[in-house]
């Protein structure tokens, strides 16, 4: 697992996009990453289009989702 200097990767603030979960330090909704991946785009394409999101943030989010899903019965 990649270590990110902050344990927090996702932020929610009612003053930023009405409380939509975004990557910390950005205004990029987390759902945008899922939309890219669902449509067949690569992580590289997402990062190129949203340079304010750090690779470590995206990878940690994906790993956390994978870990969560692997525990679902």
Q: How far apart are CA 16 and CA 13, in angstroms?
A: 5
Domains, the chain, ordered by start: 10-70 (1.10.10.10)
Reading the block at residue 30, the tokens are 């987390």
Q: What is the pTM of this model?
A: 0.83
Residue 70: its pLDDT value, please? Answer: 87
Find out whether 28 and 50 touch, Cβ atoms under 8 Å.
yes
% of the chain beyond a pLDDT of 90 = 79
pLDDT tens for 43-69 read 999 999 999 999 999 999 999 999 988
């Amino acid at each position: 697992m990649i270590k990110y200097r902050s344990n927090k990767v996702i932020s929610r603030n009612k003053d930023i996009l009405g409380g939509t979960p975004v990557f910390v330090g950005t205004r990029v909704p987390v759902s945008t990453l899922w939309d890219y991946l669902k449509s067949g785009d690569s992580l590289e394409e997402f990062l190129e289009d949203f340079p304010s999101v750090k690779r470590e943030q995206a990878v940690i989010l994906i790993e956390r989702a994978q870990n969560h899903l692997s525990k679902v019965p």
